[in-house]
Structure 1
């Protein structure tokens, strides 16, 4: 669906959200906090929703969380994992779905390769210093970055 023109996607997105809310009482997602050699973190800006986010997405049927993370990082930002990332925390997010659970993985510099990637789903992506995140970085993204870079325990809720 991410390949649809933006005006079409903005109409279809609320309908798909309602469908998933009713048909999937439990959902799982993944996010990756990818750091470069400077300690900067990778953020993505989607073409269909405002804000900057950690890359990631939903876990599909017959897919492990690690497989989903590997797929999402490659699709969204050309990050090819070469080593197993560290699971940082498991979060619940009840805003979007009845029961959405998100796993946050930390991907350190030296454990991945970068490949130039373009996608209709991703408007742009870049690495940012944790203390100088771009305007529009979502509150949940800011908190997760603070937890990881500040050595804090992960919260229970996203």
Structure 2
């Protein structure tokens, strides 16, 4: 927990000192076409769970770790890559790999300082405050559209 808090505090430094960052977001979709979204304690809005790829991790390791931490989601199979995006408008040098997960289970999970809420929403009725990037990715996934280059 303490290491997670330190990471959140150091995130601005990482973004300024590294030439490029890589993060993941995961669109977890259940059998009722509902998507799993989280609400952070340190930023507004609803968005896909995810986070930064740490040294020594693959993007698949990061998906597995972040889903377990942020919502008690346990992968049932390898995630499917939806797209690799530039997030240059928000953070210089940032890139996001977005995955789709449809085969999973869920274990007990409780809110934390980082993740205040986590739940499923109908893909056609996302909650107020859902971030723009999240809304665009949900629409692409629902319509089977190829994603653009920018988040």
Q: Which TM-score applies when normalising by structure 2? A: 0.91
Partner of 2:36: 42
Change (3 A) 1:3 1:68: closer
Q: Does structure 1 residue 151 correspond to structure 2 residue 144?
A: yes
CA separation in 2, counterparts of 1:131 and 1:68?
28
Q: Any unmatched runs of 5+ in structure 2?
A: none
Partner of 1:57: 51
The 8 Å contact of residues 15 and 21 in structure 2, kept in 1 or not, is answered as no
Report the 3-state secondary structure (helix = DSSP H, G, I; strand = E; otherwise coil) of the residue aligned with 1:105.
strand
CA separation in 2, counterparts of 1:153 and 1:120?
35
1:42-74 alpha-carbon deviations (Å, 9 max, x no partner):
000011110000010100001000000000000
Partner of 2:25: 31
1:81-136 alpha-carbon deviations (Å, 9 max, x no partner):
1211111111010134321111111001xx21101212321100111111110000
- The structure 1 segments of at least 4 consecutive aligned residues displaced by more than 3 Å after TM superposition are 1-4, 15-18
CA separation in 2, counterparts of 1:66 and 1:139?
24
Q: Does structure 1 residue 112 correspond to structure 2 residue 104?
A: yes
> Cα RMSD between the aligned structures?
1.9
From 60, 67, 71, the equivalent of 2:65 is 71
CA separation in 2, counterparts of 1:76 and 1:18?
21
CA separation in 2, counterparts of 1:147 and 1:20?
30
Q: Does structure 1 residue 90 correspond to structure 2 residue 79?
A: no
Q: Any unmatched runs of 5+ in structure 1?
A: none
Q: Which TM-score applies when normalising by structure 1? A: 0.87
